[in-house]
Chains A and B, each alone.
Chain A
Amino acid sequence: MATSTLCNQVAEKWQRSFAKLNREKEGITGLLEFTRAWLTASDQLRPRDKSGLAVKPPYDKTKLRECFEIIRSCNLHAVFLDDYLDAVGRHLPAITSDIEFYMKMYEVHITYPLPTFASWLRLIQREPKVEHIAMLINIAARWQRAWAPLPEMGASAISAFTCTFQTHLYSILPPSFTEGFRDLIAATFDFKSIESAPDWLPLRFPCTPGVPRPDFTLWIVMQELGLIERYETLILSVCYERIEKHISETCGKVWDRQVLQEMRDWMSREVVTWLTMPYARDARSAEHAAMLMKGVGSRLDYHVCKTLADLRTLEIFDIIIDYPDSRPALDDLKECLQRVDQRSQLVQSLRKANRRRLLHPGADTKLILTQYVSIIRCLRIIDPQGVLLFKVADPIRRYLRDRPDTIRCIVASLVGDGESGESGDSLVDENEPIQPINQTQLEDYTDPNWEPEPIDAGPGNDIISTLISIYDSQELFVKELQILLAQRLLAIKDGNFDRERRNIEILKIRFGEAALQVCEVMLRDMTDSKRMDQHIQQQTASDLHPTVISRHFWPPLQTNTFTMSGQFRKIQEDYANEFHVFKPDKKLVWMSHLGSINLEVELDDRTVEAEVPPLEAALIELFSEQDEWTVADLIVNVGSIERSNAVKALTTWVELGVLKEDSPDHYRLLKTAEEASTRATARQPAVAVEELPPVVTVQQQQAEQMRVFWMYIEGMLKNLGQLPLDRIQQMLKFAPNYDRNIDQLAAFMEAARREGLVTVTNGLWKLQSK
């Protein structure tokens, strides 16, 4: 039963298939016709081995089309296509052997044992090898063309074939192909004209005349094989490498002109023209090409900016050193940074460079300040909002804060100290408008163009304010300024204070009137002294021209006052009396160690003229009483002076040939010149140069303050037993002007511990019992 049903079913199916193939033709003619058509078509399409690579057997188009028509009318064209693709797969070993051959040719060039240096050199020049890759591409394309289905089969058949073929092709390409392909792509950069192209190129990939580049056909073939799409990233990476190489070769250390535009021009000239090959071969016009290239072009432009930004980021420290000559490089960098977001890298790089090259003990404070100012200026060009600066400046500022002479350096440059002012290397830009410090600009919210400051932005001030803001208060500056001013005023001999007055006026604008009131008093003391001196000179002419200063307004002057001797003291006393008449409520206290004296020493055979500090004068005066002195006796006679100072003063006279050190510590007046010393006296008039007047520096003042605080600490530890550090810190508020923080106190206590003054156990400090 079942068998008969099955038979019926099979018979029915058979009948249906037959009817389908026979297409209701008479007898089996339809079937025969179909069989013929199938055989003809498949014979025509059959993938052939090498023998059939060059030419396809000629065929009759109309006949073939009829065959396809018959197959299609039987609804069997899909089966036919599958059959055909299977055949392609079966014949692939033919391609595989070709590819293996060319890859071997290519690889031989890499791995072939090279006996001589010359052939090693050839290895470096990878030029010859790419030919094999090109050949490989050529042959693969020829296989593809040879096996491609006829156009009569329709577009879907062609795309199905291409897909199958290329899948097979890629699967048999060895990994080293990628490397070779990259080399080939890189090599095509130089195929700009027929002359620069290698011999094999026109041979293997002949071009029709009029194509823009000789490698035109090569690219078409690559496109045919789908290589361009498949290796797009590789092609771009070749471009990138090209750009990187070019930029690092041509732009490194070139800071005196802007190179970004140059690089962009180069890119559109060299790289973009080349890129039209893979991307815009079929462009009908320049605009069309531009449109096709738009995406890739902007990627390349980005890469140019990025590469240049990377380069400049690496060089940033030296660029800043070269500022302002390196200004164009900074403008470049600014433009690049607007395109690529590399700001954090720049900050990192600069901070690292600063740490390594600037903030170490070997660098001079002035140098650090100069570089810091340059950094400020440079980063302001790159980033006017000051975000970068804020991030970079912090370590520098912290470092500068710890340097003891930073304030001094800043103040010196503020007033345009001689050495820096005249060499034109001042930190202060003359052209920069002077602004009051700490004047926070209120934001104008009615301004329609108002933009909020970046969240990480620091205060944007002028350079001097920035320098001064390194410290928490301006007080320190004003103090240092007073000391500097005192030194400079006391050093002035010609009575011309215009320069100092000008400086003070400038600084007043910065610090405000109140802060510089003391300086004002100091200046007035100087002019008052001059006037007062004129008055007294009218009463009784005197050789003495003192400067009368108001002790309260001047920084403490070092007091190693000694008494002048002989006629000098007489002159002083006479003057003081005259002064007392002029100002009855005031009394002069002489600072004998300051100033200078012009004197002539009359000896038996000669007169020595010299301008010397007072101590020298006081000592030589004593030699008019007796000819020989010991140092100790001299010191007794002039009062409290250090031995070293006395010896120094005496040496001045020895050098002038007036005194002679007969035996150690024993000096004798040379009434008549000695042979050896006459030459010395010939150098007239001799001037013994005194260093700057000894004003107590801020450090010394601070040391003095610390001594006071120590007394308080001692007092509290004595009476309260042992105390923790924070208690000490709090208790110290009883001490006048106590302004240290707890870290400073800790350092101080630690120092005291090393001195053996205190001990510490479990964080409790106590006095070392005696």
Chain B
Amino acid sequence: MEQISPTATARGSSKSTATGSSLEAAGSVTKRLSQELMNLMLTSPPGISAFPKSEANLFEWAGTIEGATGTIYSGLTFKISITFPPNYPYVAPTIKFDTPCYHPNVDIVGGAICLDILQDKWSAVYSVQTILLSLQSLLGEPNNASPLNPDAANLWDKPDEYKTQLMKHYRPISDDA
């Protein structure tokens, strides 16, 4: 074990999923997450934001996505939960909507998201920031080919009806969140 460099350990653990992760790897994940948090805080891109839910656990984050202006989601704010696996960034984080989101690629009940980069297209070079940006653009440009919410996919071309449905499900964020 001593002969293996930290990077090698990290790589090894990524292949053998969560079971092989050593303390060393957990440390480097924490470091990576801290780094990502710092980047996110310092650049503070418009409309997206995220922060760890508690000081004790850096693997559970809460995020906020505002619908981009010019899209049907403009003016709406959605809360999401981000859960990082122990072998992040070699495995994509799990993300779900906490605010009900009427969207072709979002499960209206569970909040699960169907986005390629969160599944098979995931790469370790992605970061929280890129995920959030992707989600923000996903809101305006759904992938109607593989819908999780077929109703929404069908309604997409009728903005008025779509908006009605969207607002029916939408819950504005309250302080008690």
Question: Which residues of A are at the interface with B, using a C-beta cutoff of 8 A?
Answer: 708, 711-712, 714-716, 718-722, 727, 730-731, 733-736, 766
Contacts and interface: CB of A to CB of B under 8 A. Distances in A.
A730 to B, nearest CB: 4
Chain A contact residues, majority secondary structure:
helix
B62 A719 contact: yes
Interface string B40-65: 11101000011111110010011110
Given A715-B40, A718-B49, A766-B175, 4 more contacts: A727-B55, A731-B55, A734-B52, A734-B58
B176 interface: yes
A479 to B, nearest CB: 21
Interface of B: 34, 37-38, 40-42, 44, 49-55, 58, 61-64, 79, 173, 175-177
B55 A719 contact: no
Given A712-B41, A734-B55, A721 B175 contact: yes
B64 A721 contact: no
Nearest to B34: A734
Nearest to A708: B42
A182 B34 CA distance: 85
26 contacts: A708-B41, A711-B41, A712-B41, A715-B49, A715-B50, A718-B51, A719-B49, A719-B50, A719-B51, A719-B61, A719-B62, A719-B63, A719-B64, A719-B79, A720-B51, A721-B175, A721-B176, A731-B51, A731-B52, A731-B54, A731-B55, A733-B55, A734-B34, A734-B37, A734-B55, A766-B175
A714 to B, nearest CB: 8
A727 B54 CA distance: 9
Nearest to B63: A719
Nearest to A761: B175
Contacts of B62: 719-720
A766 B105 CA distance: 32
B116 to A, nearest CB: 25
B143 to A, nearest CB: 26
B59 to A, nearest CB: 13
A495 to B, nearest CB: 40
Nearest to A734: B37
Contact of B175 (A711, A718, A722, A736): A722
A715 B55 contact: no
User: Which of A716, A727, A736 has most chain B Cβ within 10 Å?
Assistant: A716
A766 B173 CA distance: 13
Contacts of A708: 41-42
Contact of B64 (A711, A712, A718, A735): A718
B177 A715 contact: no
A244 B41 CA distance: 72
A282 to B, nearest CB: 88
A711 B55 contact: no
Contacts of A721: 173, 175-177
A736 B61 CA distance: 18
User: Which of A719, A721, A734, A766 has most chain B Cβ within 10 Å?
Assistant: A719
A233 to B, nearest CB: 71
Q: Please list the 8 inter-chain residue pairs (A to B) with the smallest Cβ-Cβ separation, ordered nearest first.
A: A719-B51, A730-B55, A719-B62, A716-B51, A711-B41, A721-B177, A715-B51, A718-B49
A429 B51 CA distance: 53
A727 B52 CA distance: 12
